[in-house]
């Protein structure tokens, strides 16, 4: 007997998941370019059983021990047609897509045999529009459509129900719109046990640390001279620029809510919840730093600029090992006081 008949599946997700519709014509099928698309065994088996399955299998090659699609020399998927639509899906339906293609941009985690969490990533521009531009609400449903599921049943540092309770409490704080973003982050730190302590604060040193993290995250080869200029630029311009981010509501709030939910904070990293919340806030400081640089470079910061930099940062955090490593190291070495000191009310 299916155990879900006895213990119903519970999938917690933002309501934007059900509203999302993939349409490569609206984004030039960005996810079908320059990616290593892993072909899972179930998909390979389906095509091996078809009389004309070789039309798919001849494009499958091996990379680092995994089966992947061999892209064209241009970097595009061999099944992408001239209208930026997937030829496989048009011909055979969604069930014959590789699991990663069928699931993207949805990110699905298994927390227990019955409890799942599902969100979407900003890497997809259409998903980013759903995530960033409308207030985020949540729902619980009893079915899953994504085939690619990350098993976290043994990776959470607390029971699943406790984890969901902590996530809900954190998101409630992040959605308190009567508070500024930094006031919300302060309350978030305090909720997870980080208390402000009087320490001597060196703004220039900590700005330099943010520059280092930025360089690692964006794979920028920054010289010592360039780093010094960036520190000076940031400290000079941040007081004028950062308070204006509130005019881009609901984007800052939605970005933070989605990051906290999708990356499984406060259990995203091995370590206690206080470390996790410091990592979370440090990552937001990188977003602020990018916003300041963009505003200075372009002489202003538009809604479109801010939207694009949040999407790019999310992509970098997904794919830059150096960036996340630098963020975590910074969070491990400093207590919450430095986050309070860097906040602009």
Q: Count of domains in the chain?
A: 2
- Both tokens of 294, joined, read 């963009």
Which residue segment(s) compose the domain that 129 sits in?
3-151
Q: Same domain for 18 and 142?
A: yes
Tell me which of 151, 169, 197 is where a domain ends.
Answer: 151
Tell me which of 90, 117, 151 is where a domain ends.
Answer: 151
Sign of CA dihedral 88, 94, 100, 106: positive
pLDDT in tens, 209-247: 889 888 888 888 899 999 999 999 999 999 899 999 999
Q: Same domain for 200 and 280?
A: yes
Do 229 and 286 meet the contact criterion of CB atoms below 8 Å apart? no
Tell me which of 102, 133, 151 is where a domain ends.
Answer: 151
pLDDT in tens, 247-257: 999 999 999 99
Q: Same domain for 130 and 168?
A: no
Is residue 205 scored above 50 in pLDDT? yes
Q: Same domain for 167 and 274?
A: yes
Instruction: Give, in order, the Cα–Cα distances in Å from 193 to each of 37, 186, 189.
Output: 41, 11, 6
Residue 289 sits at the vertex; the CA angle it makes with 306 and 304, to the nearest 5 degrees, is: 10
pLDDT in tens, 91-148: 988 888 889 888 889 999 999 999 999 999 998 889 999 999 999 999 999 999 889 9
Do 150 and 264 meet the contact criterion of CB atoms below 8 Å apart? no
Do 182 and 264 meet the contact criterion of CB atoms below 8 Å apart? no
- What value does the CA radius of gyration of the chain take, rounded to a whole number of Å? 22
Q: Same domain for 164 and 202?
A: yes
Q: Same domain for 203 and 260?
A: yes
Task: State percent of the chain over pLDDT 90.
Answer: 50
Rounded Cα gap, residues 18 and 67, in angstroms: 30
Mean pLDDT of 65-73: 88
Q: Same domain for 137 and 167?
A: no
| Predicted model pTM | 0.89
Q: Same domain for 133 and 172?
A: no
Q: Same domain for 129 and 168?
A: no
Band (338; pLDDT cuts 50, 70, 90): low
Do 214 and 289 meet the contact criterion of CB atoms below 8 Å apart? yes
Question: Mapped to the 3 state alphabet, what secondary structure does 2-58 carry?
Answer: CHHHHCCCEEEEECHHHHCCCCHHHCCCHHHECCCCECCHHHHHHHHCCCCCHHHHC
What is residue 199's predicted lDDT score, i.e. its pLDDT? 53
φ, ψ of residue 93 in degrees (nearest 5): 95, 170
């Amino acid at each position: 007997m299916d155990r879900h008949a006895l213990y119903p599946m519970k999938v917690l997700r933002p309501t934007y998941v059900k509203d999302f519709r993939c349409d490569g014509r609206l984004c030039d099928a960005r996810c079908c370019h320059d990616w290593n698309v892993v072909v899972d065994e179930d998909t390979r088996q389906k095509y091996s059983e078809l009389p004309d399955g070789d039309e798919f299998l001849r494009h499958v090659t091996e990379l680092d021990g995994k089966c992947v699609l061999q892209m064209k020399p241009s970097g595009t998927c061999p099944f992408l047609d001239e209208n930026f639509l997937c030829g496989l899906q048009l011909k055979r339906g969604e069930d014959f897509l590789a699991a990663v293609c069928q699931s993207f941009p949805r990110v699905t985690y298994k927390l227990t045999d019955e409890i799942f969490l599902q969100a979407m990533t900003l890497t997809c521009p259409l998903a980013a529009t759903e995530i960033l531009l409308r207030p985020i609400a949540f729902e619980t449903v009893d079915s899953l459509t994504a085939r690619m599921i990350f098993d976290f049943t043994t990776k959470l540092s607390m029971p699943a129900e406790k984890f969901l309770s902590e996530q809900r409490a954190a998101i409630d704080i992040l959605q308190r719109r009567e508070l500024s973003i930094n006031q919300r982050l302060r309350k978030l730190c305090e909720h997870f046990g980080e208390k402000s302590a009087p320490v001597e604060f060196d703004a220039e040193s900590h700005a330099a640390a943010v520059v280092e993290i930025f360089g690692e995250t964006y794979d920028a080869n920054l010289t010592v001279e360039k780093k010094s200029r960036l520190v000076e630029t940031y400290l000079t311009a941040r007081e004028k620029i950062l308070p204006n981010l509130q005019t881009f509501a609901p984007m800052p709030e939605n970005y933070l809510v989605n990051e906290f939910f999708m990356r499984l904070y406060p259990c995203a990293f091995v370590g206690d919840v206080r470390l996790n919340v410091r990592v979370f806030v440090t990552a937001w400081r990188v977003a602020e730093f990018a916003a300041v640089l963009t505003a200075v470079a372009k002489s202003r910061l538009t809604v479109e600029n801010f939207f694009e930099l949040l999407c790019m940062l999310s992509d970098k955090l997904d794919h830059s090992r150096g960036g996340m490593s630098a963020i975590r190291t910074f969070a491990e070495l400093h207590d919450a006081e430095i986050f309070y000191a860097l906040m602009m009310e």
